[in-house]
Amino acid sequence: MALTLAEAAKLSNDELLAGVVETIIKDSPVLQRLPFIEIVGNGLTYNREATAPSAAFFDVGDTWTESTPTFTQLTVALKIVGGDADVDNFQQATRSNVQDVETAVVMLKAKAVRQLWEQTFVTGDATANPKSFDGLDKLCDAGQTLSMGVNGGSLTLDKLDELVDAVKGGKPELLLMSRRSRRILNKLARTSGSLLETERDEFGTMLTFYDGIPSEPV
C-alpha cells in the first residue's frame, strides 16, 4: 500500500514545525534563556513565597521559637498563541523560482508569533484579554520594581546598578530593554571611559554584557 496523503502530511508538518520553532527561538533573547517544561493538563500550579522565616540568637538552655515560611499557591492556565498562514498550491508551484513562497510566508508568521509573545511576556494582562497571560508588569510584586520617578527619568549607570541589586539571590540572567535604552547604555559606558563586553552566542548573535549580565534589546 502506498504512503497515504495523511501520513505524508505528518512528516511535512513535523519538519515545518521544527523550522518554525527554531526561527522563533533564534530571534528571541527571552525564549533562548527561559526553561520550558511539558505540561499535561489545563494549567500549572506552583507555590510562591509569601513570608520568609526568621532567625534569632539564643543562650544555652533557651527555648527556641519556631518560625517557618508561608506560601501562596497560584495556578496559571495554559494559553494558545499562533496564527494561520495559507499558501495556494498554484502560487507555491509557479511563484517560487526566486524565493520559496511557503517558507517566506511561514517565517513571517513565525516572526509575528514571536513579537506578540514577547510583548505579552512583558505587558500581558489576562484581565483585559482572558485569552492571553499576565506579563512581568503584573506578576512583579511591590519591592521588585524600581521607579524612575512619576514622569520617568533618564537612565544612569547608578540607577541600573540599583536595579541589578534589586534582584535577590544572585545577579539577573538577562537585562531586557528597548533598542533606545541599549543605545543610551552604550553611550553611558563610553562616557564613563569604558566599553561593554561583547561575545557571540550559540546562534552567532553578538551579545553585549553589563557587569557580566547579557543586555539585549527587543
Instruction: Give the pLDDT of residue 19.
Output: 64
Give bridge partners of residue 43 from the DSSP assignment: 77
Q: Where are the alpha helices (DSSP H) in the chain?
A: 5-26, 29-33, 89-94, 101-123, 136-139, 157-165, 179-191
Give bridge partners of residue 74 from the DSSP assignment: 46
Is 20 in contact with 110 (CB distance < 8 Å)?
A: yes
Q: Mean pLDDT in each 10-residue stretch from start to end of the chain (218 residues)?
A: 52 59 77 83 88 93 93 90 81 69 81 90 92 90 78 88 86 88 90 83 79 85
Q: Dihedral of CA 110/113/115/117: which sign?
A: negative
DSSP class of residue 144 equals S
**Which tens digits make up the pLDDT trace of 4-37?**
545 555 555 555 666 667 777 777 888 888 888 8
State the average pLDDT for the chain: 82
Instruction: Give the pLDDT of residue 30.
Output: 85
Q: Are strands 43-51 and 206-210 parallel, antiparallel or unpaired?
A: unpaired
Instruction: Say whether pTM exceeds 0.85.
Output: no
- Largest alpha-carbon pair distance within the chain? 89
Q: How far apart are CA 175 and CA 163, in angstroms?
A: 10
Instruction: Give the pLDDT of residue 5.
Output: 46
DSSP helix/strand/coil, 164: helix
Nearest C-alpha neighbor of 49 from the set 74, 68, 70: 70
